[in-house]
Amino acid sequence: MCGIVGYIGKRDIAPLLLEGLARLEYRGYDSAGIAVTAPKGGLKMVKAKGRVRELEAKVPARFKGTAGIAHTRWATHGAPSDENAHPHLSADEKVAVVHNGIIDNASDLRRKLEAEGVEFLSETDTEVLTHLIARSSAATLEDKVRQAVRLIEGTYGIAVLHADFPDRIVVARNGSPVVLGIGEKEMFVASDIAALVTHTRQIVTLDDGEMATLTAEDFRTYTTEGTSTSAEPTTVEWEAASYDMGGHDTYMHKEIHEQADAVDRVLRGRIDDRFSTVHLGGLNLDAREARQIRRVKILGCGTSYHAGMIGAQMIEELARIPADAEPASEFRYRNAVVDPDTLYIAVSQSGETYDVLAAVQELKRKGARVLGVVNVVGSAIARESDGGIYVHAGPEVCVVSTKCFTNTTVAFALLALHLGRTRDLSVADGKRIIAGLRRLPEQINEILKAEDEIKELAQEFADARSMLFIGRVRGYPVAREASLKLKEVSYIHAEAYPASELKHGPLALIEPALPTVAIVPDDDLLEKNRAALEEIKARSGKILAVAHQEQEKADRTVVVPKNEDELDPILMGIPLQLLAYHTALALGRDIDKPRNLAKSVTVE
Ligand code: F6R
């Protein structure tokens, strides 16, 4: 989704901003642009449809500036084109704006401005904002921006340059991330830490309704009402190297292979052997409060929702608290009953997904307690939550989530164990789960050793027009996630069903041309799952099983190491990440940036 980078300081601005844009490419975009305040006055701007390298080719050698803003656009209002790319300039060419988000009342504002004689050069909602800022009669750039954003309904993260105020960049946030990077006699701004970490690890994340002024020497933050706010920079731990491919051909491949280390990180320092439980420092939930929880409701989107489904089962199994997961995108619109005895948990890799954030805000408004299970430290969902667990997967660059899914399921196992041990879970079961958690990194590495075998299988499946994924109870969320992975990265249609529901409809689909991937753990439902395989085989369906032992009825079985029953779902999807990856590779897909998708969905 759209990306913003800005810089003010003494360095050569264009290469720095272009490098920042390149680091945001993973979010998905269709055009890019850059504007700087020229040393001799006025603004200079270049925009290009297509990739950042196409923009780079258009930027003249002498494109110097004292401050600059740049943008990658993901089309919402108006098709991808040079004109619709950001920045947008005002008619007098004094104001340049880059914007992430959506202005809901853009058409009304546009009509009003057109009636006043303003000519629009693009179809975007952002251009409205540019003209509003330029037409403000306020004396300072801060006041001009403040007046303009007050007229706007919708979401925004913006960075603004003004030719009459060349010593500053003014930024504002409402619903779209804005992060300041604090340097020595230089300041940065971006919509994503990825664009900053090569330059500084000192960051300040703006809250909704907050603005900031950046000069080369300093920064200050304040609300859109003008009240000063205090913002202490925090140090981010993510290394710039985490954003490199490190010898892999794609980020997806790299991130799949990072999973053992990532799981090691989410466990580190949290296990308490003495009491057979875990310490979750940021939970802000004491034992008495934990015991008062009557229900758990987990909210997330896409892959995070699937991780939440696994989490809900673990919480039910280990803590015996009724729990379920629901897409946050649905929950926020259905006027759900908000219950004071329910613990709500928001799950998000980016911590910025708009639907999840909106659900959290709605819950908070209604007095609920919300925890966040989040990857990006300091992200909006992490900050809006009352407490939570960081999943420490490290930066996930591929649009398609893999390592963060795995780490999120491990984080849920920790939470389930913690809640269980404040209730009825025995010391022996606590020990058993802890031992299982400790085995995970090694077992992940063992699964990844089967990559060549899975690659071979993928060649067979690349011809399929459609695939069915089935699983029962613990296996069902695994099947759902594997089906999502395959469709988003290979574009092969895939459908996930509870194996128990086969007879109630989907069996009609079974024929040799529709392969079925079945999740078959060695648990109390093994025989039931075997019966489902028989049913498919009897109808000449082709079966790939992911199981703890060879399955006679399957054409092929990928055998994965057995862990504790409750923890098996953490591992069983990993071979299917590889299957999705190698199928997409065989089909020549753009693996790290599948069509039409964006890494963090900060708009509705
Ligand atoms: C799938 C995928 C998406 C995200 C979803 C939520 O591979 O990445 O389905 O899981 O958009 O994103 P986060 O977790 O950032 O809230």
pLDDT mean over 6-18: 95
Gap between the Cα atoms of 337 and 431, Å rounded: 37
Give, for ligand 1, the residue of 1, 251, 350 to mutate: max count of ligand atoms closer than 8 Å to Cβ. 350
pLDDT (tens digit per residue) in 529-552: 999 999 999 999 999 999 999 999
Statement: residue 600 has pLDDT above 80? no
Give, for ligand 1, the residue of 74, 193, 252, 349 to mutate: max count of ligand atoms closer than 8 Å to Cβ. 349
Rg (CA), the chain: 25
Give kind and range of the element (H or E) at residue 188.
strand 187-190
Give, for ligand 1, the residue of 397, 401, 490 to mutate: max count of ligand atoms closer than 8 Å to Cβ. 401
Helix, strand, or coil here: 374? strand
Of residues 82 and 261, more confidence is placed in 261
Residues near 183 by Cβ (< 8 Å), separated by ≥ 6? 9, 199, 200, 202
- List the structure tokens of 500: 């128990």
Task: HSE, CB side, 13 Å, CA atoms: give it for residue 106.
Answer: 21
Distances in whole angstroms, Cα of residue 110 to Cα of each of 136, 150, 151, 152, 158: 15, 15, 12, 11, 18
Statement: residue 246 has pLDDT above 90? no
Gap between the Cα atoms of 406 and 440, Å rounded: 10
396 CA distance to ligand 1 centroid (A)?
Answer: 11
Nearest CA to ligand 1 atom 5: 302
Statement: residue 1 has pLDDT above 70? no
Helix, strand, or coil here: 237? coil
Quick one: pLDDT at residue 544?
96
Closest atom of ligand 1 relative to the 300 alpha carbon: 16
Nearest CA to ligand 1 atom 11: 302
Closest atom of ligand 1 relative to the 350 alpha carbon: 15
Distances in whole angstroms, Cα of residue 418 to Cα of each of 111, 185, 305, 374, 425: 56, 46, 21, 18, 9
Task: HSE, CB side, 13 Å, CA atoms: give it for residue 58.
Answer: 18
Nearest CA to ligand 1 atom 6: 301
Catalytic residues: 2, 599
**Is there a contact between 131 and 144 (Cβ–Cβ < 8 Å)?**
no
85 CA distance to ligand 1 centroid (A)?
Answer: 25
Distances in whole angstroms, Cα of residue 144 to Cα of each of 93, 177, 182, 211: 15, 21, 24, 12
Of residues 500 and 74, more confidence is placed in 500
Pocket of ligand 1 contains residue 303 by CB under 6 Å: yes
67 CA distance to ligand 1 centroid (A)?
Answer: 34
Statement: residue 496 has pLDDT above 70? yes
Pocket of ligand 1 contains residue 301 by CB under 6 Å: yes
Does residue 521 have a cis peptide bond before it, meaning omega lies within 30 degrees of 0?
A: no
3-state secondary structure 382-394: HHHCCEEEECCCC
**Beta-carbon neighbour count of residue 9 at 10 Å?**
20
350 CA distance to ligand 1 centroid (A)?
Answer: 8
Domains of the chain in start order, with CATH, are 3-242 (3.60.20.10), 246-443 (3.40.50.10490), 450-604 (3.40.50.10490)
Pocket of ligand 1 contains residue 304 by CB under 6 Å: yes
Question: Minimum mean pLDDT among 49-53, 105-109, 516-520: which range?
Answer: 49-53
Query: 419-436 burial string, b = 16+ CB within 10 Å, else e?
Result: bbbbeebeeebbebbbeb
Nearest CA to ligand 1 atom 3: 302
Gap between the Cα atoms of 326 and 1, Å rounded: 24
Closest atom of ligand 1 relative to the 405 alpha carbon: 10
Q: Which residue has the tokens 């999705």?
A: 580
Quick one: pLDDT at residue 123?
87
Pocket of ligand 1 contains residue 350 by CB under 6 Å: yes
Pocket of ligand 1 contains residue 407 by CB under 6 Å: no
Pocket of ligand 1 contains residue 600 by CB under 6 Å: yes
pLDDT (tens digit per residue) in 358-413: 999 999 999 999 999 999 988 889 989 999 999 999 999 899 999 999 999 999 99
Quick one: pLDDT at residue 603?
66
200 CA distance to ligand 1 centroid (A)?
Answer: 27
Residue type for position 76: T
Pocket of ligand 1 contains residue 441 by CB under 6 Å: no
349 CA distance to ligand 1 centroid (A)?
Answer: 7
601 CA distance to ligand 1 centroid (A)?
Answer: 8
For the chain, give the mean pLDDT.
Answer: 94
pLDDT mean over 420-425: 96
**Beta-carbon neighbour count of residue 399 at 10 Å?**
22
Closest atom of ligand 1 relative to the 301 alpha carbon: 6
Backbone angles phi, psi at 380, to 5 degrees: -60, -45
pLDDT mean over 261-289: 95
Query: 590-600 burial string, b = 16+ CB within 10 Å, else e?
Result: ebbbbeebbbb
307 CA distance to ligand 1 centroid (A)?
Answer: 10
Backbone angles phi, psi at 496, to 5 degrees: -115, 140
**Closest by alpha carbon to 601, among 382, 331, 325, 302?**
302
Closest atom of ligand 1 relative to the 399 alpha carbon: 8
Cα 47 to the center of its chain, rounded Å: 27
Gap between the Cα atoms of 520 and 572, Å rounded: 9
Give, for ligand 1, the residue of 74, 176, 191, 304 to mutate: max count of ligand atoms closer than 8 Å to Cβ. 304
Helix, strand, or coil here: 39? coil
Nearest CA to ligand 1 atom 9: 302
pLDDT (tens digit per residue) in 337-364: 999 999 999 999 999 899 999 999 999 9
Q: Are strands 234-235 and 43-49 parallel, antiparallel or unpaired?
A: unpaired
Gap between the Cα atoms of 82 and 339, Å rounded: 50
Statement: residue 57 has pLDDT above 90? yes
Q: Which residue has the tokens 């001009």?
A: 144
Pocket of ligand 1 contains residue 602 by CB under 6 Å: no
Partners of 71 in beta bridges:
4, 33
- The interaxial angle of helices 302-319 and 403-421, nearest 10 deg, is 20
Pocket of ligand 1 contains residue 400 by CB under 6 Å: yes
401 CA distance to ligand 1 centroid (A)?
Answer: 6
304 CA distance to ligand 1 centroid (A)?
Answer: 6
Gap between the Cα atoms of 171 and 142, Å rounded: 9
Gap between the Cα atoms of 129 and 103, Å rounded: 9
Nearest CA to ligand 1 atom 16: 348
Residue type for position 392: H
Nearest CA to ligand 1 atom 10: 303
Calculate what percentage of the chain has a pLDDT beyond 70. Answer: 99
3-state secondary structure 484-540: HHHHHHHCCEEEEEEHHHHHHCHHHHCCCCCCEEEEECCCCCHHHHHHHHHHHHHCC
Statement: residue 130 has pLDDT above 80? yes
Task: HSE, CB side, 13 Å, CA atoms: give it for residue 454.
Answer: 24
